[in-house]
Amino acid sequence: MKYAMDEIVNLYMKYHTDVKINTVYGSSGNMFTQISNGAPYDIYYSADIEYPKKLKLMGKAVGNVKPYAIGRIVLWSNTLNTTKGMSSLLSPSVKKIAIANPDHAPYGRAAVAALKHYGIYGNVKDKLIYGENISQAAQYVQTKSADVGILALSIATSPALKTNLPYLIPQSSHPLLVQGYVQVTNNTDA
Protein backbone atom coordinates (compact mmCIF):
# COMPACT_ATOMS: atom_id res chain seq x y z
CA MET A 1 0.00 0.00 0.00
CA LYS A 2 2.91 2.33 0.70
CA TYR A 3 3.74 3.02 -2.94
CA ALA A 4 0.14 3.71 -3.94
CA MET A 5 -0.56 5.81 -0.84
CA ASP A 6 2.60 7.90 -1.27
CA GLU A 7 1.58 8.63 -4.86
CA ILE A 8 -1.98 9.55 -3.84
CA VAL A 9 -0.80 11.81 -0.99
CA ASN A 10 1.76 13.58 -3.20
CA LEU A 11 -0.82 14.21 -5.91
CA TYR A 12 -3.40 15.46 -3.39
CA MET A 13 -0.91 17.81 -1.72
CA LYS A 14 0.12 19.18 -5.12
CA TYR A 15 -3.38 20.60 -5.55
CA HIS A 16 -4.09 21.30 -1.86
CA THR A 17 -0.95 23.11 -0.72
CA ASP A 18 -2.60 24.27 2.50
CA VAL A 19 -3.04 20.67 3.70
CA LYS A 20 -0.33 18.72 5.52
CA ILE A 21 -0.61 14.94 5.45
CA ASN A 22 1.66 12.72 7.50
CA THR A 23 1.54 9.03 6.70
CA VAL A 24 2.61 6.36 9.16
CA TYR A 25 3.19 2.80 8.00
CA GLY A 26 3.28 -0.37 10.06
CA SER A 27 1.59 -3.71 10.43
CA SER A 28 -2.18 -3.54 10.61
CA GLY A 29 -2.17 -5.16 14.05
CA ASN A 30 0.39 -2.79 15.51
CA MET A 31 -1.43 0.25 14.13
CA PHE A 32 -4.69 -1.15 15.53
CA THR A 33 -3.07 -1.43 18.97
CA GLN A 34 -1.74 2.13 18.78
CA ILE A 35 -5.15 3.52 17.83
CA SER A 36 -6.85 1.42 20.52
CA ASN A 37 -4.51 3.06 23.02
CA GLY A 38 -5.26 6.59 21.84
CA ALA A 39 -2.74 7.32 19.07
CA PRO A 40 -3.89 10.52 17.30
CA TYR A 41 -4.52 9.30 13.75
CA ASP A 42 -7.24 10.57 11.42
CA ILE A 43 -7.79 7.62 9.08
CA TYR A 44 -6.78 3.99 9.47
CA TYR A 45 -6.12 1.86 6.38
CA SER A 46 -5.72 -1.80 7.21
CA ALA A 47 -4.56 -4.81 5.21
CA ASP A 48 -7.78 -6.47 6.33
CA ILE A 49 -11.24 -5.18 7.14
CA GLU A 50 -11.52 -6.83 10.56
CA TYR A 51 -9.25 -4.41 12.44
CA PRO A 52 -11.28 -1.34 11.31
CA LYS A 53 -14.49 -3.18 12.28
CA LYS A 54 -13.05 -3.80 15.76
CA LEU A 55 -12.19 -0.10 16.13
CA LYS A 56 -15.76 0.77 15.20
CA LEU A 57 -17.11 -1.64 17.83
CA MET A 58 -14.76 -0.13 20.42
CA GLY A 59 -16.05 3.38 19.69
CA LYS A 60 -12.68 4.44 18.29
CA ALA A 61 -14.01 5.09 14.78
CA VAL A 62 -16.85 7.06 13.20
CA GLY A 63 -18.76 6.47 10.01
CA ASN A 64 -18.85 3.23 8.11
CA VAL A 65 -15.97 0.83 7.65
CA LYS A 66 -15.34 0.67 3.91
CA PRO A 67 -13.37 -1.73 1.73
CA TYR A 68 -10.74 -0.17 -0.53
CA ALA A 69 -8.96 -3.15 -2.13
CA ILE A 70 -8.56 -6.91 -2.32
CA GLY A 71 -5.01 -7.95 -1.45
CA ARG A 72 -3.14 -10.67 -3.34
CA ILE A 73 -0.07 -12.64 -2.28
CA VAL A 74 2.82 -13.74 -4.46
CA LEU A 75 6.10 -15.61 -4.29
CA TRP A 76 9.00 -13.31 -5.10
CA SER A 77 12.75 -13.77 -5.15
CA ASN A 78 15.57 -11.83 -6.68
CA THR A 79 17.76 -14.94 -6.92
CA LEU A 80 15.49 -17.98 -7.40
CA ASN A 81 13.04 -19.12 -10.04
CA THR A 82 9.57 -19.23 -8.49
CA THR A 83 7.66 -20.26 -11.64
CA LYS A 84 7.00 -23.72 -10.16
CA GLY A 85 4.81 -22.02 -7.59
CA MET A 86 4.62 -23.10 -4.00
CA SER A 87 6.64 -26.26 -4.67
CA SER A 88 9.60 -23.91 -5.30
CA LEU A 89 9.77 -23.48 -1.53
CA LEU A 90 10.70 -27.15 -1.08
CA SER A 91 13.96 -26.71 -3.01
CA PRO A 92 17.09 -27.41 -0.92
CA SER A 93 18.44 -24.06 -2.12
CA VAL A 94 15.68 -22.27 -0.19
CA LYS A 95 17.05 -21.71 3.31
CA LYS A 96 14.93 -18.75 4.44
CA ILE A 97 11.40 -17.68 3.50
CA ALA A 98 10.24 -14.21 4.52
CA ILE A 99 6.64 -13.51 5.47
CA ALA A 100 4.94 -10.83 7.53
CA ASN A 101 4.38 -11.81 11.15
CA PRO A 102 1.07 -13.71 11.16
CA ASP A 103 0.39 -12.69 14.77
CA HIS A 104 -0.51 -9.16 13.68
CA ALA A 105 -0.18 -8.90 9.89
CA PRO A 106 -2.99 -10.07 7.61
CA TYR A 107 -0.55 -10.85 4.80
CA GLY A 108 1.37 -13.11 7.17
CA ARG A 109 -1.82 -14.98 8.04
CA ALA A 110 -2.60 -15.37 4.33
CA ALA A 111 0.93 -16.71 3.72
CA VAL A 112 0.57 -19.34 6.45
CA ALA A 113 -2.88 -20.31 5.14
CA ALA A 114 -1.47 -20.78 1.63
CA LEU A 115 1.43 -22.90 2.92
CA LYS A 116 -1.05 -25.08 4.80
CA HIS A 117 -3.39 -25.27 1.80
CA TYR A 118 -0.57 -26.72 -0.32
CA GLY A 119 0.44 -29.10 2.47
CA ILE A 120 3.97 -27.75 2.80
CA TYR A 121 3.76 -25.71 6.00
CA GLY A 122 5.27 -28.51 8.10
CA ASN A 123 8.18 -28.82 5.66
CA VAL A 124 9.02 -25.11 5.57
CA LYS A 125 7.96 -23.68 8.95
CA ASP A 126 11.55 -23.79 10.27
CA LYS A 127 12.68 -21.73 7.26
CA LEU A 128 10.24 -18.90 7.97
CA ILE A 129 11.56 -15.53 9.06
CA TYR A 130 9.07 -12.88 10.09
CA GLY A 131 9.00 -9.26 9.11
CA GLU A 132 7.22 -6.84 11.42
CA ASN A 133 5.00 -6.06 8.43
CA ILE A 134 4.81 -6.98 4.75
CA SER A 135 7.25 -4.23 3.76
CA GLN A 136 9.91 -5.58 6.10
CA ALA A 137 9.37 -9.10 4.76
CA ALA A 138 9.97 -7.72 1.26
CA GLN A 139 13.09 -5.96 2.49
CA TYR A 140 14.47 -9.28 3.78
CA VAL A 141 14.15 -10.77 0.30
CA GLN A 142 15.43 -7.69 -1.49
CA THR A 143 18.56 -7.58 0.69
CA LYS A 144 19.03 -11.37 0.41
CA SER A 145 18.46 -11.96 4.12
CA ALA A 146 15.84 -14.40 2.81
CA ASP A 147 15.91 -16.43 -0.41
CA VAL A 148 12.24 -15.94 -1.22
CA GLY A 149 9.21 -14.24 0.26
CA ILE A 150 5.47 -14.49 0.26
CA LEU A 151 4.66 -10.85 -0.33
CA ALA A 152 1.87 -8.51 -1.33
CA LEU A 153 1.46 -8.23 -5.09
CA SER A 154 1.53 -4.45 -4.77
CA ILE A 155 5.02 -4.60 -3.25
CA ALA A 156 6.36 -7.22 -5.67
CA THR A 157 5.39 -4.99 -8.60
CA SER A 158 6.80 -1.81 -7.05
CA PRO A 159 9.76 -0.08 -8.71
CA ALA A 160 12.20 -1.49 -6.12
CA LEU A 161 11.29 -5.13 -6.79
CA LYS A 162 10.18 -4.96 -10.41
CA THR A 163 13.34 -6.73 -11.61
CA ASN A 164 11.81 -10.22 -11.31
CA LEU A 165 8.31 -11.42 -12.04
CA PRO A 166 6.35 -12.71 -9.06
CA TYR A 167 4.38 -15.95 -8.99
CA LEU A 168 0.76 -15.09 -8.22
CA ILE A 169 -0.50 -17.47 -5.52
CA PRO A 170 -4.05 -18.58 -6.32
CA GLN A 171 -6.59 -16.68 -4.25
CA SER A 172 -8.41 -19.93 -3.47
CA SER A 173 -5.48 -21.01 -1.27
CA HIS A 174 -6.06 -18.46 1.48
CA PRO A 175 -8.83 -16.33 2.99
CA LEU A 176 -9.78 -13.30 0.90
CA LEU A 177 -7.75 -10.24 1.93
CA VAL A 178 -10.49 -7.59 1.92
CA GLN A 179 -8.73 -4.40 2.96
CA GLY A 180 -10.66 -1.70 4.78
CA TYR A 181 -10.42 1.80 6.17
CA VAL A 182 -12.25 3.92 8.70
CA GLN A 183 -12.11 7.42 10.17
CA VAL A 184 -10.56 7.39 13.63
CA THR A 185 -11.95 9.42 16.55
CA ASN A 186 -8.71 9.89 18.53
CA ASN A 187 -7.53 13.08 16.81
CA THR A 188 -9.59 16.09 17.86
CA ASP A 189 -7.72 18.27 15.32
CA ALA A 190 -8.95 16.19 12.37
Domain CATH number, residue 8:
3.40.190.10
For residue 189, tell me if it sits in a domain: no
- Rounded mean pLDDT, 18-27: 89
Give me the chain's average pLDDT, please.
92
Q: Place 175 in a pLDDT band, splitting at 50, 70 and 90.
A: very high
Q: How does DSSP classify residue 5?
A: H
Same domain as 45, residue 123: no
Three-state SS for 98?
Answer: strand
Cα separation, 73 vs 166, whole angstroms = 9
| Domain interval for residue 34 | 2-70+177-184
Please say if the pLDDT value at position 57 is more than 80: yes
Please say if the pLDDT value at position 163 is more than 90: no
Same domain as 98, residue 44: no
Cα separation, 12 vs 74, whole angstroms = 30
The model carries a pTM of 0.84
